[in-house]
Amino acid sequence: MPIATVNPATGELIEEFASLTKEQVNQRLTRAEAAAAMLRATDFDTRARWMRAAADLVEAEAAHTARRLTIEMGKPIAQARGEVLKCAHAMRFYADNAESLLADQPLADPSTVGASAAYTSYEPLGVVLAVMPWNYPMWQVIRFAAPALMAGNVGLLKHASNVPQSAMYLDTLFERAGFPVGSFQTLLIGAADVEAVLRDRRVAAATLTGSEPAGRSVAAVAGSEVKKVVLELGGSDPFIVLPSADVGAAARTAVTARTINNGQSCIAAKRFIVHTEVYDEFVEAFVAGTKALTVGDPLDEETEIGPIATESGWRELVDLVGDAVAKGALLRCGGSAVGTEGWFFEPAVLEEVTTEMRVYREEAFGPLAVVHRVDDVEQALKLANDTTFGLSSSVWTTDPDEERFLISRLAAGAVFVNGMTVSYPQLPFGGIKDSGIGRELAAEGIREFCNLKTVWKS
């Protein structure tokens, strides 16, 4: 796969990059190792000062950065700006809170272990390799980098091959803000070169956000090297609507939850599971809302849906719809190409989807929704959990018993009640089953790449 920026709205090749030679990768690893020693010796206040300076740069450069995101992967420009500003917010969150999140944890009664004092402390692991996807080219990286650097770790970024301009922007960001040379570097390499980097003795751990096969591959290498790994993989999140819910609000939110970021979000709601009593009302509003979306030039402020990021991703969506319709699904709207250039896909809603259809099990990475009808809350739960994924979920009800039941029984890393799934720096983020291992964000995220050191004093 070439390392290149190709505008998905036009198919035009904007810029191609050569991948690094082995020697260049080696130089960067040497720099990273040296930076890890330096960063470990700095205190929280110093790192926080640098992190705030980096957030200032991100904010000052937001307009340019947002335009770059839109041209590289097609998200609507207003959403690109939102992504960039969210990055600055997370950077400030970790600048402000890293020290307290990583404070020593004393044992309340050290006499129970025969000590005068006992506590645990968090220490950086060193160089962490981050393999990242293209769907949020800034946010996915920053939500790793901000906590990692604040903990005193060093980052090496292998970004997705279709967002190299974003990768190169991130390559210099932290150094420009004052962090030591080598604290955060981009490696312009292909997926096949990841294994050698991860096996290098100078790399302590890895995190991957992306597809399940990529995650399995990196986890296998990390496992054989006994190196810590965090995986944030795919999702096919359920969005359950029950009769006591505000159905209008649920349907409006459902449109956004399915189509934000051109539908290319791991935590997008993908399967809409609706009680029969409110099914028709929900589906009519959901289909109408989906049809009303403005599809077009992502640089236009009015656009709500831009192109799919890659031709292969676009083809995959068209094939998923074709397979479902051929096997009897009802296509309520969209599902075909829009225009003659670029990879635009008209947002689609499918009903009457059955287990033989690929879209029942596979993650639809684009604006393609599946709506299921259920008779009761137990059936809703069964269908919601009938997936190999377990990232997040959304539940619409005002009945406290139903709410309690679903919160405790949904097999997912998160449950959002009467709202759509959103990531916040304050809340842990991650999944179970094939959606991944470990957590990002909040206290859990910054602690993932720390050595939890136990200290016992006689």
Q: Which residues bind ligand NAP (CB under 6 A)?
A: 1, 131-135, 140, 158-161, 190-191, 194, 209-211, 214, 217-218, 232-235, 266, 363, 365, 391, 436
Task: State the minimum distance, in angstroms, from the CB of residue 401 to ligand NAP.
Answer: 31
Can you tell me the distance from the alpha carbon of 152 to that of 45, in angstroms, rounded to the nearest whole number?
12
Catalytically active residues, by annotation: 232, 266
Tell which residue, 20, 208, 187, 35, has the closest CA to residue 132: 208
Nearer to ligand NAP (CB atom), residue 126 or residue 210: 210
CB 140 within 8 A of CB 46: no
Task: State the minimum distance, in angstroms, from the CB of residue 162 to ligand NAP.
Answer: 6
Q: What does residue 261 show for φ and ψ, rounded to 5 degrees?
A: 60, 35
Nearer to ligand NAP (CB atom), residue 235 or residue 296: 235
Nearer to ligand NAP (CB atom), residue 5 or residue 140: 140
Task: State the minimum distance, in angstroms, from the CB of residue 136 to ligand NAP.
Answer: 7
Task: State the minimum distance, in angstroms, from the CB of residue 387 to ligand NAP.
Answer: 13
Task: State the minimum distance, in angstroms, from the CB of residue 208 to ligand NAP.
Answer: 6
- Give the residue closest to ligand NAP by C-beta: 210
What are the residues facing 209 on neighbouring strands?
A: 232
